[in-house]
Amino acid sequence: MFTLQSKAYYSFFLCLVAFSLSFNLHSQTLFNYSPQGLYDGPGGMYEKDSLRTLYVNFHDPNYHSILQNSFFTNPSYRIPASITLGDITLDSVGVRYKGNSTFCIPNDNGVPKVPYNLDMNYWISGQKLLGYKKLKLANAWMDATFQKEYIASKIYQKYLPSPEVNLMKLNVQGNYLGLYVNTESINKQFAKKHFDYDDGALFKCDASGMFCDTTGTPPGGYPGLTWNGSLDSTLYYSSYDIKSNHGWKEFIDMIYALNFTPNNLDSFLNIDRALWAFAVNTVIGNFDSYNGYYVHNYYMYQNEDNLFQMIPWDLSQSFINALLGWDIFTPLGPTHPTQYDPYYGSDPSLFRPLTEFLFNNAEYRRQYTAHLRTVINEIDTNQIRGEVQTMQAMAYSAMDNDIHKLFSSADYFNNVEQDISNLAWGGYGFGGIMSCLRHRIPFLLAHSEISATPPNIFNVQVDNGIITANVNNESYVELMATVSEYNSKFTSFDMYDDGTNGDAQANDGIYSCYVPFATSPLVKFYVKARNSQAMMLSPERAEYEFYEYYSISNVLDKPQSFNKEIIFITDILGKKSKFKYNTPLIFIYDDGSAEKKFFVK
């Protein structure tokens, strides 16, 4: 039974139901697994439909000078403040300034609207704000629309674990500082939320150098996953910032494998996660990334399966944004940013070993291209425009009263549909959301590899221990399956349309395969098909999404019982779990059925 105590819980329950529709096939149950329920619903910190105001009051009135100096001399130094959000007040919150160019440029010009990093847990263990230990407030200094990071995050979240984003007003010492972008921190909480494990090695892959003119500051490194000549971790300190209390050996082992034994890379890295990150970067013009102009802005997290996962970070330059620069005067053509090569990074001379390996490997290149095609096909410009308009209407007053913003209130709207130039910066250009997509997507669709016609996969079913799928325009079909509780390390199994291996009729376009891992009660899988030019996956968002098949032996002909018994419980990641309140759970019964439930305490 369900007990619903609030609108927030009710909405979350509806979200769970929406992604857990199932059907019974001879006492066998097939689900479409979707991780979208992991993200905040209404009432959560990152709900999109409200614009909250955060009040920060420092105990020391000289806070700005202290934090300004420590940004350069001791970046991790924090000072205490009390904060209030709605009817919640917390004391002894650790606050520091953050950022790089978004700190340096306004700070150098005497503008107090700089990015903030707040740690509720810094002095008071276990203290949280709406369930979160940290807040990271970006000043959107180079985004006239205040929407680019938010819209980008919604797109990334469809395909791989990604930070949540919304907007927030900030008042400091009783004064309105401006409209900010509230971005989820990549930390132990994020890891627990997405991987149900928070003790893995975590690295922020960003050079340590500063944008500011800081004489005497050590130069930044290069977080390109290149081999630095030794296993000595100190050689990597300027390129990667370790956020866990262990992990250098594992991280450098992954770098070694990438550079010297790349065919074994799948034992160290969740490759599909990287392919999805690169695909979204490419489609939405986030070129401030590994496969963009500048190699940085990502995290690496090692899950319990020992695979590192690439996690995107700092999406503020999505839709080209400030990277348009002087190219605002460049006519559309091969040198314009909207025509940036979708396979950039394959050249060894660029010293990007990850894209070099993946884009020169035929199978991974096809899978990356399939991901590109999926992202492109799922971009709904009308939906994006409508969401931007709704968010901008909600935040208009907060933006208009923000005296520290770089752009005009007219640019707030204009930069949605078109590129703009900033006269104060000599006409420097900033890419628009819709203008980027309007030019970028047709360019990508005209690319010979992306425009190739892939196979078509439909009607995926399981019946009597046999997985079937209708496939056409194919030359090869395989089942990718795993029983890993970490939703990784999928293994290939051939599917047949020759009347053997469970296939009922040869050459009827229905490919078949016996369910692998027959002794496991839960098998996770997707179907992969390819022809000489292209690849298709089903579900298309695999491996982030996949099919879940629950099979209970010796009950194929048993009618459904109202006195069914629970065999075991899993969480929504598929890991076995004990009963828990306030947590989505899947109950597996002895009649082969399964139910997703959420109990509120």
Q: How is the chain split into domains, by residue range?
A: 1-41+452-601
Q: Would you say 402 and 175 are in contact if contact means Cβ atoms under 8 Å apart?
A: no
| DSSP per position, 294-358 | SS--EEEEE-TTS-EEEEE---TTTTSGGG-BGGGGSPSSTTSGGG--TTTT-SGGG--HHHHHH
Worst-scoring range by mean pLDDT, 29-43, 141-155, 378-392, 586-600? 586-600
- How many Cβ atoms are within 10 Å of 598's Cβ, its own excluded? 20
DSSP 268: T
* pLDDT value, residue 424: 87
Q: What is the pLDDT of residues 130-189, one digit of tens each?
A: 999 999 999 999 999 999 999 999 999 999 999 999 999 999 999 999 999 999 999 999
- How many Cβ atoms are within 10 Å of 318's Cβ, its own excluded? 31
Confidence of residue 12 (pLDDT cuts 50, 70, 90): very low
d(CA 148, CA 137): 15
* pLDDT value, residue 564: 60
Q: How far is CA 160 from CA 157, 164, 533, 548, in A?
A: 6, 12, 25, 18
* pLDDT value, residue 397: 98
Assigned token pair, 205: 């892959």
Helices 362-378 + 353-360 axis angle, to 10: 90
- Segment 59-73 shows an average pLDDT of 95
Q: What is the pLDDT of residues 183-239, one digit of tens each?
A: 999 999 999 999 999 999 999 999 877 777 666 566 789 999 999 999 999 999 999
Confidence of residue 299 (pLDDT cuts 50, 70, 90): very high
* pLDDT value, residue 369: 98
Q: Is the pLDDT of residue 533 over 60?
A: yes
* pLDDT value, residue 598: 63
Confidence of residue 581 (pLDDT cuts 50, 70, 90): low
Sign for the pseudo-dihedral over CA of 565, 571, 572, 575: negative
Q: How far is CA 569 from CA 5, 173, 517, 573, 595, in A?
A: 23, 49, 19, 11, 10
Closest CA to 384 of 437, 336, 333: 437
Peptide bond into 474 cis (omega under 30): no
* pLDDT value, residue 408: 97
Q: What is the pLDDT of residues 242-296, one digit of tens each?
A: 999 999 999 999 999 999 999 999 999 999 999 999 999 999 999 999 999 999 9
Peptide bond into 539 cis (omega under 30): yes
* pLDDT value, residue 209: 72
* pLDDT value, residue 386: 97
More confidently predicted of 8 and 462: 462
Which residues partner with 23 through β-bridges? Answer: 30
Q: What is the pLDDT of residues 86-96, one digit of tens each?
A: 999 999 999 99
Which residues partner with 529 through β-bridges? Answer: 477, 536
Percent of the chain beyond pLDDT 90?
A: 80
Confidence of residue 339 (pLDDT cuts 50, 70, 90): very high
Q: Is the pLDDT of residue 591 over 90?
A: no
- How many Cβ atoms are within 10 Å of 299's Cβ, its own excluded? 24
Closest CA to 470 of 534, 525, 538: 538
Confidence of residue 601 (pLDDT cuts 50, 70, 90): low
Q: What is the pLDDT of residues 434-468, one digit of tens each?
A: 999 999 999 999 999 999 999 999 999 999 899 99
Torsion of CA 570, 574, 576, 580, to 10 degrees: -40
Q: Is the pLDDT of residue 336 over 90?
A: yes
d(CA 328, CA 430): 8
**Averaged confidence pLDDT in the chain:** 90
* pLDDT value, residue 29: 62
DSSP 496: B
Percent of the chain beyond pLDDT 70?
A: 88
- How many Cβ atoms are within 10 Å of 502's Cβ, its own excluded? 18
Q: How far is CA 212 from CA 198, 216, 325, 326, in A?
A: 34, 12, 19, 21
Q: Is the pLDDT of residue 55 over 70?
A: yes
pTM of the model: 0.89
Q: What is the pLDDT of residues 539-575, one digit of tens each?
A: 999 999 999 998 754 222 223 334 566 666 777 666 7
Q: Is the pLDDT of residue 364 over 60?
A: yes
d(CA 129, CA 368): 38
Helices 362-378 + 433-445 axis angle, to 10: 130
H or E segment and range at residue 458: strand 456-463
Q: Which residues make Cβ contacts (< 8 Å) with residue 449, sequence separation at least 6? A: 343, 365, 369, 533, 534
d(CA 559, CA 362): 48
